[in-house]
Amino acid sequence: MSNDELSGLTIAVTAERRAAEFITLLERHGAAITHTPAIHVLPLVDDSDLRSRTADIIASPPDLLVVSTAVGFRGWLDAARAWDEEDALLAALQSARIITRGPKAKGAVRGAGLREEWSPETESSEEVHEHLVAEGVRGLHVAVQLHGTITEWEPMTDLSVSLAGAGAETTAVSVYRWIRPENQQPLLTLLDQIIRAEVDAVTFTSAPAVASLLSTAKDADRVDALLHAFHGPVAPVCVGSVTASPFTALGVETMQPARPRLGSMAKYIIEELPKRR
């Protein structure tokens, strides 16, 4: 593999977390990069509701724990550590059956010394819901670590609600939330660049990042123009199917690596994006 595969191509990166190493790798192979974070992650370490729900879980351990995201689970343990409750929380979770929504969540759980019982192949909340309802959750105490904030663009099941509807007693644990950037101008500039096909590809590492760009386009009355660009000259590149789900719901085909990992995504872009020239 040479080091100039991406020479002459411009790639927009929308990630906030771990963006630097990803950008460096693409630049090393000749790409011109524009970096516009589409979302910000707000931790809720000081949130009184999180502390209260953590205390409830320690006092009454769940039968089942659903871990939606690695960043959320690690953030929850970090918050518990700040309150001198990490050991008590881990002890409470030790007896629970644990379901992880994807490989990153699985890694976070194992990193804490716990072990998951099952993880869906699709990494979707819908598959988690179907699996648990098929097994039966009526009467079980289920703790659900929520996936940030779900927007109109994300076809994602709120497991704390859906499992309660199936008869479970659920405790929803919100550790962080996604927010759109307060200053929308950089995203509006990116929107213009996409519509004018001034970038060759836009990379996304989370569904909320896709939703944020779509929301900015909606506010500017330019959703149709954005989707037209993504149907044509500009490639939307998503780290996996869950990230791509807002696009899938809108009928937009995306480029995705075989494995939903940032490193795999970079390698995939280096190998596949030049073929679109």
Domains of the chain by residue range: 10-39+182-276, 42-178
**pLDDT for position 149:** 63
Give the least confident one: 52-56, 96-100, 119-123, 182-186. Answer: 119-123
Model confidence at 179, pLDDT cuts 50, 70, 90, reads confident
Tell me the mean pLDDT in the region 152-167.
83
Query: What percentage of residues in the chain have a pLDDT greater than 90?
Result: 78
Shared fold status for 10-39+182-276 and 42-178: yes
42-178 fold: Rossmann fold (3.40.50)
**pLDDT for position 1:** 52
How many CB atoms sit inside 10 A of residue 106's CB?
Answer: 20
The pLDDT tens digits of the residues spanning 115-127 come to 999 999 888 888 9
> What pTM was estimated for this model as a whole?
0.78
User: Which residues touch 81 (CB under 8 Å, ≥6 apart)?
Assistant: none
10-39+182-276 fold: Rossmann fold (3.40.50)
3-state secondary structure (DSSP) of residue 255: strand
**Residue-wise burial string across 86-102, b where 16 or more C-beta atoms lie within 10 A, e elsewhere:** bebbeebbeebbbbbbb
